[in-house]
């Protein structure tokens, strides 16, 4: 198949990493793949690094006529079979450029529980969690037009030896005797890094928190200002910045914490499962579909720093609990959340839509 992925973004997040992984997987599976979107972006630069074909389409707003024309020209030139839009703007452009009943068939992925608009021109919608699917159905989309395909991630790293793990912890500056908790995410209010910082006031002193993500945002500065007012807290909360090698680093940590106020599913949680790191997470959006309380992780209410502290403290004190959660989380990952599963389900959906259009 010839597949064009359409996404408008200048930053980095779950949708961007998902689209990049999907393009790499589809190319490895023998399909011709192209990215259509702004090249002055994280995703554009990553496509160039990966030698993925691209077309610079800036998509200034929803009704940039030149960008609409350029996307249609690309699809015609490639003789594309599928145009796959991501996020609201990508869905809008894919839907207007593609078709419902013959190639190029327009598909889009809804990556957020708030996704509601500009997807009706697409032949089919992929929801990344049951919570996202339910939101689309509640907004009036037909059940036959929406399919659930969970996000997937590549296999985690081979478990390191004790010596390798010690070296990895030393690389990150983790004290040898610390119980190291990691959080991965953009510094935006929805991700709740402020709640994690507040939770650290109530956990044992041997617990340290490591925040992976670029703090150079307005909310990131708020979190850093909070830490600056409490030196004792700041001594145990560490910002590691943006890291492109999260899966390599995860085995260095003793637990993963998600404090989101809004979340469709959480790719970072799936990466923790794959890396055999126990999880405590907020009960929000699609998270409970994969973090099953007392089975694959611990669930706590959102907006509740005290509950987060209790969950982290419990993990730090109970090695048997950690081992059970790790085993069950890894099993769920292998059964439903691998990159291969995501790829196979997506390609099967493409084929079904193309078959319906034939």
**What pLDDT, in 10s, does the model give residues 176-205?**
999 999 999 999 999 999 999 999 999 999
Mean pLDDT of 213-237: 94
pLDDT for position 355: 87
Task: Return the pLDDT at 96.
Answer: 96
- Checking if the pLDDT of 358 tops 70, the result is no
Local confidence band at 102 (pLDDT 50, 70, 90 cut-offs):
confident
Asked if residues 91 and 112 have their Cβ atoms less than 8 Å apart, the reply is no
- Tokens read off for 33: 């793949």
Helices (H) and strands (E) in the chain, counts: 15, 13
Share of the chain above pLDDT 90, in %: 96
Answer whether residue 97 shows pLDDT above 70.
Answer: yes
263 pLDDT exceeds 80? yes
d(CA 292, CA 329) in angstroms, rounded, equals 9
Q: Model confidence at 228, in pLDDT bands (50, 70, 90)?
A: very high
What's the confidence (pLDDT) of residue 156?
84
- Tell me if 234 sits within 8 A of 228, measured CB to CB: yes
* Mean pLDDT, residues 308-319 taken together: 98
pLDDT above 80 for 282: yes
**Could you give the C-alpha distances from 224 to 1, 18, 180, 216, in angstroms and in order?**
47, 29, 19, 10
CB atoms within 10 A of CB 10: 12
Output the average pLDDT for the chain: 96
Q: Say if residue 346's pLDDT is above 70.
A: yes
Task: Give pLDDT, residue 101.
Answer: 79
Q: What is the pLDDT of residue 100?
A: 85
pLDDT of residue 357: 53
Neighbours of 233 (CB within 10 A): 16
- Is the separation of the CB atoms in 104 and 81 below 8 Å? yes
Is the pTM for the entire model greater than 0.85? yes
Once rounded to an integer, what is the mean pLDDT over residues 271-286?
98
- The CATH code of the domain at 162-336 is 3.40.50.2000
Residues 6+ apart with CB under 8 A from 287: 258, 260, 263, 265, 266, 269, 281, 299
Fold match between domain 2-152+338-357 and domain 162-336? yes
Q: Which two tokens stand for residue 37?
A: 């979107």
pLDDT band at 174 (very low <50, low <70, confident <90, very high): very high
The CA-CA-CA angle for residues 164, 242, 342, to 5°, reads: 80
Q: Give the per-residue pLDDT at 55.
A: 97
> Would you state the pLDDT for residue 51?
98
Domain ranges of the chain: 2-152+338-357, 162-336
User: Which CATH fold topology does 2-152+338-357 show?
Assistant: Rossmann fold (3.40.50)
Q: Which helix (H) or strand (E) holds 320?
A: helix 319-336
As a whole number of Å, the CA-based R_g of the chain is: 21
């Amino acid at each position: 198949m010839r597949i064009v992925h359409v996404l408008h973004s200048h930053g980095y997040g779950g949708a961007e990493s998902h689209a990049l992984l999907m393009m790499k997987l589809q190319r490895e599976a023998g399909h011709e793949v192209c990215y259509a979107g702004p090249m002055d972006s994280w995703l554009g630069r990553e496509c160039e690094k990966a030698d993925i074909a691209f077309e610079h389409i800036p998509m200034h707003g929803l009704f940039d006529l030149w960008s609409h024309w350029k996307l249609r020209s690309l699809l015609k030139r490639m003789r594309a079979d599928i145009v796959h839009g991501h996020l609201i703007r990508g869905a809008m452009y894919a839907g207007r450029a593609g078709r419902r009943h013959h190639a190029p068939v327009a598909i889009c992925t809804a990556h957020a529980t708030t996704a509601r608009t500009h997807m009706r021109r697409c032949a089919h919608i992929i929801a990344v969690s049951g919570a996202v699917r339910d939101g689309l159905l509640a907004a009036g989309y037909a059940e036959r037009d929406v399919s659930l395909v969970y996000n997937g991630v590549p296999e985690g790293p081979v478990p390191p030896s004790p010596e390798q793990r010690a070296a990895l912890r030393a690389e990150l500056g983790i004290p040898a005797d610390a119980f190291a908790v990691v959080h991965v995410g953009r510094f935006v209010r929805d991700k709740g890094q402020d709640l994690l910082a507040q939770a650290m006031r109530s956990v044992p002193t041997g617990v340290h928190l490591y925040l992976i993500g670029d703090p150079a945002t307005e909310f990131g500065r708020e979190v850093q200002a909070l830490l600056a007012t409490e030196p004792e807290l700041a001594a145990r909360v560490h910002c590691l910045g943006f890291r492109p090698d999260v899966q390599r680093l995860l085995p260095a940590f003793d637990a993963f914490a998600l404090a989101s106020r809004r979340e469709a599913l959480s790719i970072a949680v799936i990466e923790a499962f794959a890396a055999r790191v126990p999880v405590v997470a907020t009960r929000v959006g699609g998270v409970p579909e994969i973090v099953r309380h007392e089975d694959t992780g611990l669930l706590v209410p959102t907006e509740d720093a005290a509950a987060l502290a209790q969950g982290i403290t419990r993990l730090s004190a109970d090695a048997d609990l950690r081992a059970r959660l790790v085993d069950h989380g890894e099993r769920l990952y292998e059964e439903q959340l691998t990159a291969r599963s995501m790829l196979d389900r997506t390609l099967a959906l493409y084929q079904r839509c193309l078959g319906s259009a034939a």
